[in-house]
Amino acid sequence: MNFGLPSIFSDNIGTAKDLIKDGISGFILNNTSKYKVLNYINRILSDENFVSRSKIFNKNKLALYSPEQNASVISNYSKAKIVYINLIRTLINLFKIMIEDEQNTIN
Question: In this predicted model, what pLDDT tens digit does every residue of 14-57 receive, in sequence order?
Answer: 777 777 888 888 888 887 778 888 989 999 999 888 888 888 88
101 pLDDT tier (thresholds 50, 70, 90): confident
Question: Which pairs count as long-range contacts for 82-91, CB under 8 Å and 24+ apart, including other chains?
Answer: none
Cα 28 from Cα 10, distance rounded (Å): 6
Domain locations along the chain: 7-63, 67-107
Cα 53 from Cα 6, distance rounded (Å): 9
Return all residues near 53 (Cβ < 8 A) that are at least 6 apart.
24, 25
Q: Does the CA dihedral 103-104-106-107 come out positive or negative?
A: positive
Question: In this predicted model, what pLDDT tens digit does every residue of 65-86 receive, in sequence order?
Answer: 778 877 887 888 888 888 888 8
Contact 34, 41 (CB under 8 A): no
Q: Is 7 helix (H, G, I), strand (E, B) or coil?
A: strand
Q: Does the CA dihedral 40-41-47-49 come out positive or negative?
A: positive
Question: In this predicted model, what pLDDT tens digit does every residue of 52-66 receive, in sequence order?
Answer: 888 888 888 878 777
Q: In terms of Cα–Cα distance, which of 6, 10, 11 is closest to 46?
A: 6
